[in-house]
Structures are given as structure tokens and as C-alpha cells.
A and B are shown apart, each in its own frame.
Chain A
Amino acid sequence: MSKIEVCGLNVYYEKGTVHALKEVNIEIESNKITALIGPSGCGKTTFLRALNRMNEVNDVMTKGKVIIDGKDIYNGGVDVIQLRKKVGMVFQQPNPFPMSIYDNVAYGPRIHGMRNKKLDMIVEESLKKAALWDEVHDRLEKNALKFSGGQQQRLCIARALAVNPEIILFDEPCSALDPISTSKVEDLLRALKKDYTIVIVTHNMQQAARVSDFTAFFLLGELIECGKTTQIFEKPKDKRTEDYVTGRFG
């Protein structure tokens, strides 16, 4: 069953002068990894940020429907706080807050009113799920910025997991990481899809091929093609997709 259903999504920047996403229709399946690929500026990050209304932080106009679990999140009745709790996000640059590991993971639960007793458990669980616990369990009080980029990124994943989301959006999570950290994060993604629906933007086509179940190809703000990853990479229907995945441009 599809977790997210996007119908006729249009996004405009700069007071409507830049049309960043054009009539995007797509269904994203539950407990699968969906990769969004395409050249720079094709709208894949904009699309990703439309799924938890993070575009609203900037001056952006959105039209169309994004239906998550049967509810249109752009409908007035939806609480953006609850939405972002349900749809977590991990960014391109690891962005842990300049506080301790513990406080970073506990940040989300705390702002949602969780008090200290259960926090320890949540922090431990989240760090374990993010495959970081073994490396940091004796240094929870250390400032997060003292850790390596890969560890910081996994910390950000743990931080997102701590508020118990159902969907996690990854915006090029490995582009700032070295190959070893990248492979750790990829392993993590595969492990996480058991419990979460994952959408990942990536610049790296090998990465999309390695981790994702479905792939969507964006070009100039349009969704060109979407399907099973094997199909997109081996038998693309659209000529432009074929050109892109075979490395002829982009």
C-alpha cells in the first residue's frame, strides 16, 4: 500500500517566478526505500522538502496534494508539528546541534514534552538503531561537534528516530561523507526500512542502485519516470532517463 501519494504537486520560488516542481504525481510505498535522482537543480530536494512542509521555512508557494496516510498535509486542518514528527528528515550536511550527544538525541522528545525518566531509554534505543551506540555509549556527554562527519550524520539519524517517525526523508545524506562512512549509512538505511518508509535524494546513481527499491528520475522540475530501481536502471522507458542513468549527461 502506498504511504505517500502526491497529486499534481507544483512548487514555486521567488514569489511565483520560478516554477521548481511541475505537476508531480507519484506514489511512495510503505517500508520501502525510494530514491530520487536527477541532475542538480532538477527539483528533487524541493520535492523531498515538500513532503514534510520544510519548504515553508523559505518563501515558497505550494499547490497540489500530498496525501500521507489518507490525509492531505497541505489541507488547513493538518498540524505541521505533528506532521514533522511523523515525517523526519536528515540533511545533506550533518547538522547536530552544538551540544552533547545525549542532548542532541533527546532534543526531539524533550520539545514534545517527554520528561527525563523515559529519555535515557529513548536515547539508547535511537543510538542503537542508528548503529552509533557502541561507538559513543561511554561519551554521551561529549559535544557532538567533536565527532567525525560520519558519526555526526548517524547522530542526526538517531536524532530523527528519537521522535518516533514513520517516514524519514534523507537529503543527500552521504554527500559530505567518506566512502566508509557512506557504506555504514547505506547499511543503516537498509536496516531501517523494516520499520520506516524511506525517501532519499541522491546525486550518486550507484548509491540509488545499491540501496533503493524504487527510483524516481527528476529533470527540470518534472518527474520523468518512476518505477522499480532495477527497471529504471536496466530498462528505462524514457530516453532521457536512459541518457541520465547511463551517464550521458548530468
Chain B
Amino acid sequence: MNLLERVRTCRFKRMDFGTAEKIVEKLLFIAALSSTLIVFFIIAFMFKEGIPALALGWDFFFGMIWRPSHNQYGIFPLVVCTFIVGIGALVLAAVIGIPAAIYLAEYSPAWLRNIIKPCVEMLVGIPSIVLGFFGLIVIVSYIRDSFGGYGECILAGWIILAIMTLPHVISISEDSIRAVPKEYKEGSLALGATQLQTIKKVILPNARSGILAAMVLGMGNAIGETMAVLMVIGNPEIPFIPSSILDPVRVLTSTIVIEIPYAVWGSLHQQALFALGVVLFIVVAILNLITTAVVRKGAMR
């Protein structure tokens, strides 16, 4: 049998049905398994690399000084700054985002919503480096000119991160407001409640879990965000706990990016950076777990 013929018969011969089924199933299984394996390996690797630094224990987690040149690896100021920046940005995003979501879901006429919604979604599409660049050129100089200081500071980080978090907060909150059954709304209006009373007493309490989930998710994003934040928060040589929102700060992510080039391969410094990654991972993972729990609790009710 020549080759050509063999190829032809091979292609047209129908495979045994049962075997095909089994092979496909295995392939699907491998695909499904791959993401699990990847996550598992990354986590294992991070922990393995980070353990010597994590093993410093108290000095690592609650040490006040991070100075690799003196072999001091206390991450406490970094963690505090990370939360200050993350929570502040989130508050800012919530202050703008939740009212925006209420407006979009309850008040806005359809045509206006059709303009606002795509704009909000477009915000997600702006690459973080572009936002960071914008922040550095516009926001940082504005802060420097009007409030003094370096300009690169917590406030700038809040603004940039709030811009990045805003679309998530708006769209998830809006969805959860819309998900409140129309019957509740009508029931309230039919009793003579105003729209504002209805929103306050019936709609928001029922959308609460969704809005909360949006907040926690936004928090996770804000804390994990690197590029834009790195460009506007100043990153002082030795991180410290800030006393004013105009102080420059360093966060977990920016520290990793900045110091990787200087960390000697295999040194405690490099391991400490991996340990930072572990801390970051755990914080974000916890926030994600909270989100899931909140959403599930809301769904159960």
C-alpha cells in the first residue's frame, strides 16, 4: 500500500465511536485540569521561593524597616501603605460609582444610558500604563502645583486607582440594582413611596450584597494593580508609614517591580520579594473568597 492510499483510508475510515468519545473526554479533562495545575504550581513555587523570608516570622510581617542593603526585610509599612492606597481608592470609587449606578439603573432615560454605559466600559479598556502616564503628567503635577510636596503621593494613587476601579464598581452595582425584582419596586411605589424612598428602603437593601461584592472585588483589583500605581505614588527609598495623603508611599506590587533588578539571584532579598508576592496573593485570594461568599449569601436570600 502506498503512502497516499494509506493517508486517504486513514482519513476516511470512521474511528470507532467509543474510542473517539473517550479520547475527546480525556482531552477535555486535560484542558480543564491545566488551569488547576498552573495555579497549583505557581503557588507552590512562590511559597518555595518565599519560605526563607516568610520564616523570619514576626520580623518579616511586623518589621518596620525594609532596607535590603542592610538585610532588613520588614514589610509592615508596605502592607499598611497597600491597604491605605487600596481602601482610599475604593472609597473614592464607591462615592462616585454607587450613585452613578443608581442613576443608570433607576433614573437615566434609555438614550443617555446608551451613551454613559459604553463610556464607562471604555474606561476598562484604557491600558494601565497609559493611565499611569496620564496620572504622572496631569494629576501629579496638579497636586504638586496646588498642594506642594512631590506630587507623587497617596492622593495621586487614590485617584488613578479609583479611575481604574470605577467601571467595575459601576457595572456590578448597576447589575445588582437591576436584579432587584420589579415587584418590590412597584409594591413600594403603589404604597405612595417616592422613588427616592423606594431606592433607599427597598432597592438598595436588596442590592446590598451585589454592591458589597463589587466593592470587595474592586479592592482586590486595586491592591493587585501595579503599573499605574507605580508611576504616581513616589516609591520612596525606604518605605514608611505615611502621615499625610501627600506623602509618597510604596506598596507591595511596586516594591517587587522596582527591586527585582537589584536583587541578587538566590539571595534573601529575592526570596523576600517572592514572599511579598505570597502576601499579595493571599490578600487578593481572601478578598476573592469574601466576594464569592457575599454573592452566594445574597443569592441564597
Contacts and interface: CB of A to CB of B under 8 A. Distances in A.
Interface residues of B, number: 19
A94 to B, nearest CB: 9
Given A98-B206, A98-B301, A111-B201, A91 B183 contact: yes
Interface string B175-201: 000000101111111111110010001
B184 A95 contact: yes
Interface in A75-111: 81-85, 88-89, 91, 93, 95-99, 107-108, 111
B301 A88 contact: no
A163 B189 contact: no
A71 interface: no
A107 B187 CA distance: 10
Contacts of A98: 184, 206, 301
Nearest to A85: B192
Interface core residue of A83, A85, A98 (most chain B CB under 10 Å): A98
A108 B191 CA distance: 6
B202 interface: yes
Nearest to B198: A111
A156 interface: yes
Contacts of B191: 84-85, 88, 107-108, 111, 159-160, 163
A54 B202 contact: no
Nearest to A107: B191
Contacts of A108: 191-193
A52 interface: yes
A57 interface: yes
B183 A93 contact: yes
Given A95-B186, A98-B301, A107-B201, A163 B181 contact: no
A137 interface: no
Interface in B180-230: 181, 183-194, 197, 201-202, 205-206
Contacts of B201: 107, 111
Contacts of A111: 188, 191-194, 197, 201
A89 B206 CA distance: 22
Contacts of B192: 81-85, 108, 111-112, 163
Contacts of B189: 54, 57, 84
Contacts of A163: 191-192
Nearest to A160: B191
Contacts of B194: 81, 111
A81 B195 CA distance: 10
B185 to A, nearest CB: 8
Contacts of A91: 183, 186-187, 190
A163 B205 CA distance: 22
B186 A54 contact: yes
B188 A97 contact: yes
Interface core residue of A98, A108, A111, A163 (most chain B CB under 10 Å): A111
Contacts of B206: 98
A156 B187 CA distance: 9
A96 B202 CA distance: 11
Contact of B181 (A85, A95, A99): A95
Contacts of A96: 187
Nearest to B197: A111
A95 B187 CA distance: 7
Contacts of B181: 95
A78 to B, nearest CB: 13
A160 B186 CA distance: 12
Contacts of A54: 186, 189-190
Nearest to B181: A95
Nearest to B191: A108
Nearest to A79: B192
A111 B197 CA distance: 7
Contact of B190 (A84, A99, A112): A84
Contacts of B301: 98
A89 B186 CA distance: 9
B186 A107 contact: no
B201 to A, nearest CB: 7
B183 A95 contact: yes
11 contacts: A57-B186, A81-B193, A85-B191, A88-B191, A91-B183, A95-B181, A95-B186, A96-B187, A97-B202, A99-B205, A111-B201
Interface of B: 181, 183-194, 197, 201-202, 205-206, 301
Interface of A: 52, 54, 57, 81-85, 88-89, 91, 93, 95-99, 107-108, 111-112, 156, 159-160, 163
Given A52-B190, A85-B192, A159-B191, 10 more contacts: A54-B186, A81-B192, A88-B191, A93-B183, A95-B187, A97-B188, A107-B188, A108-B192, A159-B187, A160-B190
Nearest first, the 10 A-B pairs at minimum CB distance are A95-B183, A85-B192, A89-B190, A108-B191, A84-B192, A95-B187, A111-B193, A81-B192, A111-B197, A163-B191
